[in-house]
Structure 1
Amino acid sequence: MLGHLLCLLGLLGAATACGEPCQAAKAVFLSRWGDAYGYGGRIDEIWAKEIGTRLPPDEHYIDFTGSSLYWNSQVEGAMRELQTAVFGNPHSSNPSSLRTEARVEELRRRVLDFFGADPSIYDIVWTRSGTGALHILGETFPFTPGSRFAYLDSNHNSVLGIREYAKLAGAEHGAVSEAEVEAWLAGEPGASLPPILQEDGKAGHPKRHHSKRPRLEAAAADAAAAAAPGGRRQLAAQPAGQQGLALALEELGDPLDLEQASGTGRQHGRKHHSGSGGGGSGGSSGEPGEGGDKPGEAPVLNLFAFPGMDNFGGVMYPLRWVRAVQAKSTRRQRWKVLLDAAAFVPSHPLNLTETPADFVDMSMYKLFGYPTGVGALIARHEDIAAARKLYWGGGSVFLATSHLDWRLLRPCGAERFEDGTLPFLNILGLSYGLDVYNELGWANIERHTNAIREWLYSQLPQLRHSNGAPMLRVLGNHSGPDSSWKQGATFNFQILKPNGEVFSYRRAGTAMVAAGFHMRTGCTCNPGACYAFLGVRDEEVQTAAQLAQGNFSEWEWVWVRRKVDTPHAIPTAEEAAAHAGSVVANEGKHHQLVKLPLGSLRLSFGYMSRFEDAWALLNWLKQHYTDRTVDDYVFTAADGDSSSSGSGNGGDDAAGAAGTAAGRTQRRAEHVRRVIELQGPGWC
C-alpha cells in the first residue's frame, strides 16, 4: 500500500514539475527524439516508482558520471535475498559459506556475459572500486626497464597513478595526445612522435612535448587570446593573497623557457633506472628493447591506457584503438591495452568479443547506483598468470609460514588478487542492477541519453547576453553528424559574462547546488583534459601548488604569464602584481599576467535522466546569468522557485516534510558553504 502511495505521489510530482512552457518544449522534443527517449514512453512511470519521493521535485540529478541512481526495486530485491537465507564468509566450508561462494561465482559469470567476455579468455577480479582495479593492475603489471607505459593525456588520475609502478620498475612512461596516437597507429611517414611511441623503443633523454588534442589547442588559444590586451575578456582586479604567485611567476620567466631548464612537467620519454626491473615475463637484461632477442625469451610487455570516454568532458575515443595498438606488437615488444571503462559503460554498451581489450576497469556504483564498494578488473587469463603479485593476505594466499619467509599463492587466477574477504553481501546486490540494465536494454540506454544530449546542445546557442555574446563555453565533440559516437551525455563548461570574462566556477557551482542541481565542479580528477580546456600549463599548476604551501582553501585561480604582440609600457614588479592585465618584460619579450581558472562545471546525464532535468538547467542558466556581470552569488527566494522559468514547482505539496522550495534552497546553499569552508573547493 505504501509503495502504491509513493508511486502516486511521484507521478503527481512528475506531472506538476513541468509547467506549460516546459510541456510545449517537450512536445517539440518528442516529435524529434521520441523514438529514442524514455524507453517507449515509460520513463516517467519508472521514475515515479523507482526514484519517487527520494528526490524532491525541485531538484535535478545531473551527476551520473559521479554516481548512478539506484532503483527502489534494486534495494528491495537485495534486502529480500538477505532476509531469505544466511550468507557466510566464502573462505569457510559450511553451508552458508558454500551458498555465498556459489552466488559470487554466479555473478562473475553474469558480469562477464554482460560485457560479452568469453570466460575461456577472460576472468574478473573483484575490487573495491574502479580505482582499486587500476591499483591492482599497476602493482602487478610486469613492468621491466625495457617496458613502456603510454597513456592518453585525458585519462583519469587513477590511470596516471600507474606510472609510479612503471617508475619503480625502471620503465619509460609518458602522456600522449589523441593526434599522436592516430599518427602512431597510422604509421605516417615522417610523423613527429613522442619518444614513448617511437618504434625502436629507445627514447633517449626526456623530451618536452605539450601538444594537445586539436579541439583543445583551439580552446587554449581562445583562453589566452581572450585575456590579451584588446581581447574580449576584461580582467578583474587581482585578489588579495595572489600577489606572491604573480611575482613568483615573473621571477620564473617564460614558461616555455622554464620547460627547458626545470626538469618538471609532463614528459613522454623519461627513463628511470633506479627500479628493480625484475619479475614477470619481461626481458631479463635490464636494457630497453632487448627482450625477446634470445631463443625462447619472452617479449617485453608494454601498456597503453585510454578511456572509452573521458570523465571530464565526456569525449569518447575510438574503440578500434584496442586492436590497432595490439597490432603494433613485435617479436621483441608486446603491447597490452588498458581500457578505462568507468565513465563509458554506464551509458554505452561494451562487448569484449568485438573490442578485445587486455584489461578493463569499472566501478559498479557508476553503472547501477547500488551497491557501492564493488569494482572489477576484467583481464585475460594469460595476463593474470603473468602478473607480478607483491602484497598477499587473507584468501589470496594458499599457504604461508610465520618465521620462514615463504608463501604459496592460490593457484586460481582471479582469486590470487582478491586479498582479504570479499564484500560478498555487496556483490550479491549486483544481481539486481544487472536486472535493471537487462530490462531497459543497454542500447536503449545509450539512445535515451544521447537524445537528451542532442536536444540540450541544440538549445545552447540561445543562451546569449543582450550584446550577443555567448553565455557558455562548452568542451567536447557535441556538434557534427557523428557526435553520437564521439561524445557522451556530459557537458563541461564555463559560464561567461557579457564581456567574455569567466565566472567563478566555485561560486557558480554553489549557486547551482543551492538551486537543486546535483552536479560537479573542479577538474573532476582529470588534470590532462581539464588544464588543456582551461589553457593552463602543467608547470604553472605545479608552481601554484608549491606556493600554496598546503593551503588550498582559495584554490580557484592562477595568474600566469602569456606573450602579447603589442608592446606596452613596462611597470615594476610590484605594479605587475597589483594590476591584472599589466605587461611585464622577460629578456626583451612582452608578457601579460592572465588570470585563468583551475576548474569548471560538469553536468552528466544518465539512464534515469529526464527531459525536465535538461529543461530546468537551460532555463535556470538563462534566468540567472543573462547579462549578469557581478561574480558573486547571493541567495534569493527566486532561486528556490523555478516556476518563473517555466519548469514549475507544483510538487511541493507532495514533498511535504521537505518544506518550501525557498527553504530547501537556503539550506542547500548554507550546507555547500559549510562544506567548502571545511574541505576547500572540492575533489581533484
Structure 2
Amino acid sequence: MRAKAVTTLLLALAAALAAPGHACPVKTPSPDDSALLTAKKEFLLSEGRIYGYGGTIDHLYEKEIAPRGEHYLDYTGSTLYLNSQLHAALEELESGAFGNPHSSNPSSARTEAAVEAVRARLLAFLGADPEEYDLVFTRSGTGALRELGETFPWAKGSRFAWLTSNHNSVLGIREYARQAGAEFGAVTEEEVEAWVASSDAGSAVQPGGSGTSAGIGTSGGGSTHRDGALLPSVLRGTATQPGQRGAAPLQRQLLAASALAASEGTLHTERRQRQQEQEQAEVPGMEGSFEAGAEPAPCLFAFPAYDNFAGIMYPLRWVREVQARSDAKRRWRVLLDAAAFLPAHPLNLTETPADFVVASFYKLFGYPTGIGALVARKSDIRAARKVYWGGGSVFLATSTLDWKHFRPSGPERFEDGTLNFLSIMSLQQGLDAFEVLGGPAAIERHTSALRSWLYDQLAGLRHSNGAPLLRILGRHHWPNARSVQGATLNMQLLRPDGKLYSYRAGATALDQAGFSMRCGCTCNPGACYGLLGVTDEEVRAAADAAHGNFSDWEWVWAPRPEPAAGSADSGAGGGGGSNVVPDGGTSGSGDARRVRLPLGSLRASLGWMARFEDAWALVRFIQAHWTDRADDAATSAPAEVAASLAAAGLAVDEASAAALLQRRRRTWSAPEVHGPGWC
C-alpha cells in the first residue's frame, strides 16, 4: 500500500533527476533564446553549485510542471504541486478502503494508522521531540491561529504582543485577548530588540541597546527608543494593570503618552478611561495587580519567522530571549508563525523551542489544500481552555445534562469533528518529494541563489534618464541578505520622474503576459503600510470615506511635510515613491503638501520549482513594458506575451500570442474582478 505509493513517487522523481541537467525544450532558437541561454550560462557559473538540485531542475520542471506553460512567481501564496505527488497519492487511495477514524473497524484502523504516521513524520520534519510537543491538525494555518486564540488560558494580567509585520490571521487573536480583558498591542522590531536586550523589562533603554526597524511602521503604542525612552506598555514590567493606583514621574509620562496614543487609535486596551485617571495620580510607586503566591499570568508574543509581504526573516533567537523575559508575575509564551518560512527554510524546534508553531501545508507541498497544523507543547495543550467541542474532541457527553468529558490529553482533544483524513494522508507524498530534493536546506539554497540574481537584475533596471524603474522593498541590499531576506521580491513600479505607476494596472499587465504574482498588501497591513509610508489612521480614514466601495481601492491622499529647499523629492527613496500634488495646506510643523500614497504593491515570490527562466522572463518583461512609459499600461502587447511564452519554452508566433492575449484580457480585465487585492 503505502510502500508501493512511495516507490511510485520515488521512481518518478528519480527518473526526472537522472536526466541531463539544464535541458531546454527543443525548438528553433530565436534572438530571445540566445539572450536567455547566455544569461543562464553566466548565472550557472556563479550559482550552479547551489541552484537547481544538482542541475536537474529543468527536466524535473518539464516532467512535473511544464504543461502549465506560465511563469509561476507566487510561491508564498501557494507552492506548485508535482504531477508525481498526485499520482502517488491516488495510488495509495486505490490500494484499500480508508474509513472514518472515529469508527472501530478495519478501514478506520487503517486510516488512524496512516494519520498518526503523518503526524509523527511532521513532528520529525520540524525537529520536535514527540515527548515534548504534539501536532494538532486544523483546516488551515488561520484555523490553527484561531484555535490558539480561543483556547489560550488568558487570565488577570495577561498580555498579547505581536510584531507589527504579522499576518492578519495573527492580528485576529487580539479579539480573544480583548474578550478576556488582557492588554494587547503591536510592537516594532526595534522595540523587541530593546526589550530582550534590557536587564529589566521596565528599565530605560540605553543608547545602542536596540536594533533598527528598517522601515517597518508602528501600528500602535510604540515609542522611539532615544535616551531614556521606555519600552511600550505591553512589554514593560510596569505596564498598566487593574489595581494600579499611581506611578513614578517618568512612568506617569509614558502613561500619559500611551493615553494620547489610545485616543488616536494606536494603543488598544479596554481600560483607557482607567489609564487617564491613573496618570493624574501623585502617589509614587506602583501597586501590582498580582496577589502574593499567584501563578504567573500567561502572556503571548507572536512574530513571523518570515514576513509574507516583503520576505524579511526575523531572528529565531527571539524565541528563547522572549521566553527568558518571564518572571514571577508573567510567563511569556512564543507563537512562531512559520507558514511562509517552512516552504524553503529548515526549522528545528529542538534548537528553536517555540511554544506554538503554525504551519499551512499547501504552502509547502501545493497539494493537498485545507490542512494546517498547530504544533504546541503538551503542557500547553493540557492547560488550554477549550470552549467549543464536538465530534472526536469529546470523550463523553450528555444531551440533557450540561456535562461533558473532554479527551484527557493529546491533540485529538482539539480536533473537533472528523479530520480531513484523506488529505492528511496525502501529505506523505509532499514530504517524500521534499526528501528527494534534499530537504528544506536544499530548497533554501536553490531559492537564495535565484533571489540574489533576480534582485541584482531588477535593481539595475533604469529609464533612459537614469532613474530607477523599480523600488524593491525589504533587505535585499543588506550585506547579510541571505540570512535576513527570503526569496520574496516586493516592488513598486516607478515612472521616469520617480512617481508611481498604478500597481493594479501593473498586476493586470503581468497577468495577461502569463505571470502569476500577487498585488496588494498580501494580508499583512503592518509590513505593507509601514514600508509604503502610510499610517494606520490614514488607512482607516480612507476606508471610512469609501463607504464600503473598495472597487478602486489603491491610493490614499495624505498630508506630508514639504521637503527642505534643494532636497531630493521622495521619488524612489522615501514615501514609497509617492505622487506629489501641492494643495496649499499646512500642518502644525510648517507647510505641507498632499501626497498620493499607494495601498499596495507587486510581489514575486520564489519556491522549490522556481526556475531561472521565470526570473529572466520577469526582468525582460518589466524592462520592455515600463521603460520610459508615460501611462499606467494596464495591458500587454502580443509581442510581449510571445516573449514570455518563449521563456517558458513555448514557441508561438505573434498571431497566436494575440489570440491568447485576448482570452486572458477577458479573464483579467482588472484585478478587482477577482477581488480587490488590498487585504
TM-score (normalised: structure 2): 0.83
* Per-residue Cα deviation, 1:329-353 (whole angstroms, up to 9, x for no partner): 1122100000000000100000000
**Contact 1:401/1:407, CA 8 A, preserved across alignment:** yes
SS at match of 1:19: helix
- Whether the 8 Å contact between 2:79 and 2:365 is mirrored in structure 1 is yes
1:157-556 to 2 correspondences below 5 Å: 157-187=168-198, 188-189=205-206, 190-202=228-240, 260=260, 263-267=263-267, 271=271, 290-291=289-290, 293-294=292-293, 297-441=294-438, 442-556=440-554
1:251-306 CA deviation, whole Å, 9 max, x = no partner?
xxxxxx9x9588343326664899xxxxxxxxxxxx99544731xx4211100000
1:99-110 aligned within 5 A? 99-110=110-121
523 and 184 in structure 1: CA distance in 2 versus 1, 3 angstrom threshold? same
C-alpha distance in structure 1 between counterparts of 2:261 and 2:157, whole Å: 27
Residue 482 (structure 1) shift: 1.2
Matching residue of 1:69: 80
Pairing partner for 1:88 from 90, 99, 104: 99
Whole-angstrom distance in 1 between the partners of 2:458 and 2:416: 49
Counterpart of 2:650? Answer: 651
For residues 241 and 662 of structure 2, the distance between their equivalents in structure 1, rounded to whole angstroms, comes to 57
Q: One-letter code of the match for 1:193?
A: L
CA shift in 2, pair 1:98/1:649, >3 Å: closer
Compared CA separation, residues 612 and 565, structure 1 to 2 (3 A): closer
1:41 and 2:55 correspond? yes
Change (3 A) 1:512 1:13: same
Q: Secondary structure at the match of 1:641?
A: helix
Instruction: Decide which of 655, 658, 663 is 1:662's aligned counterpart.
Output: 658
Matched-pair contact (CA < 8 Å) for 2:503–2:602: yes
- Letter of the aligned partner of 1:491 in structure 2? L
> Equivalent residue for 2:612?
611
Name the aligned partner's letter for residue 682 of structure 1: G
State the alpha-carbon separation in 1 of the partners of residues 48 and 27 from structure 2: 18
In 2 relative to 1, CA 618–675 (structure 1 residues): closer, same or farther, beyond 3 Å? closer
SS at match of 1:87: coil
How far residue 403 of structure 1 moved from its aligned partner, in angstroms, is 1.7
| Alignment pair present for 1:672 and 2:671 | no
Name the structure 2 match of 1:27: 41
Q: Contact (CA 8 Å) 1:300, 1:334: kept in 2 or not?
A: yes
The residue correspondences of 1:578-597 to structure 2 (distance < 5 A) are 580-585=581-586, 589-597=590-598
The alpha-carbon distance between structure 1 residues 648 and 322, as it changes in their structure 2 partners (threshold 3 A), is closer
Q: Residues 117 and 604 from structure 1, CA distance in 2 versus in 1: closer, same or farther, beyond 3 angstroms?
A: same
Q: Let me know the Cα RMSD of the aligned residues.
A: 2.9
Tell me, yes or no, if structure 1 residue 116 matches structure 2 residue 127.
yes
SS at the partner of 1:328? coil
Give distance in 1, aligned partners of 2:643 and 2:319: 46
Specify the code of the residue in structure 2 equivalent to 1:344.
F
Can you give the 5+ residue segments of structure 1 that lack an aligned partner in the other structure? 206-256, 275-286, 568-578
Distance in 2 (alpha carbons) for counterparts of 1:618 and 1:79: 38
Alignment-mate amino acid for residue 448 of structure 2: N
Residue identity opposite 1:338 in structure 2: L
Structure with more contact order per residue of length (Cα contacts < 8 Å, sep ≥ 6): 1
- Secondary structure, aligned partner of 1:312: coil
TM-superposed CA distance for 1:494, in Å, is 0.3
Residues 305 and 313, structure 2, Cα contact 8 Å, conserved in 1: yes
Say whether the 8 Å CA contact 2:262–2:268 is kept in structure 1.
no
* C-alpha contact 1:292 1:331 (8 A) present in aligned 2: no
Aligned-partner residue type, residue 558 of structure 1: V
**CA deviation vs aligned residue, 1:519-572 (integer Å, no higher than 9, x gap):** 0000000000000111111011101111111111111111111222679xxxxx
Please state how far the C-alpha of 1:14 moved relative to its aligned partner: 7.6
Paired position in structure 1 for 2:66 = 52
The CA distance in 1 between the partners of 2:548 and 2:131, in whole Å, is 50
Q: Secondary structure at the match of 1:124?
A: strand
Shift of 1:15: 7.0
Deviation, 1:493, is 0.8
Following the alignment from structure 1 to structure 2, what is the Cα–Cα distance between the partners of residues 598 and 36? 36
The alignment partner of 1:491 has SS state of: strand
Q: What letter matches 2:486 in structure 1?
A: G
Greater shift after overlay, 43-52 or 308-317? 43-52
Indicate conservation of the 8 Å contact 1:511/1:669, yes or no.
no
2:677 corresponding residue in structure 1: 682
Structure 1 position 585, deviation (Å): 3.5
CA contact (8 A) 1:65 1:366 kept: yes
Letter in structure 1 aligned against 2:362? Y
**Aligned residues with identical type, % of pairs:** 56
Deviations 1:476-535 (A, max 9, x none): 111233111100000001000000110101000000011110000000000000001111
In 2, Cα distance between equivalents of 1:304 and 1:183: 15
> CA-to-partner distance for each residue in 1:131-177, whole Å, 9 max, x for gaps?
01000000000112310100000000100000000000000001000
Secondary structure of the corresponding residue to residue 559 of structure 2: strand
Please, which moves more after superposition, 593-602 or 666-675? 666-675
Where 1:529 maps in the other structure, the secondary structure is helix
CA contact (8 A) 2:561 2:591 kept: yes
Shift in alpha-carbon separation, 1:557–1:338, aligned structure 2, 3 A: same
Separation in 1 of the partners of 2:402 and 2:423? 34
Q: Distance in 2 between the 1:387 and 1:273 partners?
A: 31
Counterpart position of 1:642: 643
Give the number of equivalent residue pairs.
Answer: 595
AA in 2 matched with 1:35: R
Paired residues of 1:171 and 1:271 also in contact (CA < 8 A):
no
Counterpart of 2:585 in 1: which secondary structure? strand
Give the TM-score normalised by the residue count of structure 1: 0.82
Give the aligned partner of residue 215 of structure 2.
none
Shift of 1:12: 5.9
Letter of the 1:607 partner, please give it: W
Aligned to 1:145: 156
> 2:510, 2:636 within 8 Å by CA — same for their partners in 1?
no
Q: 1:146–1:172: 8 Å Cα contact kept in structure 2?
A: yes
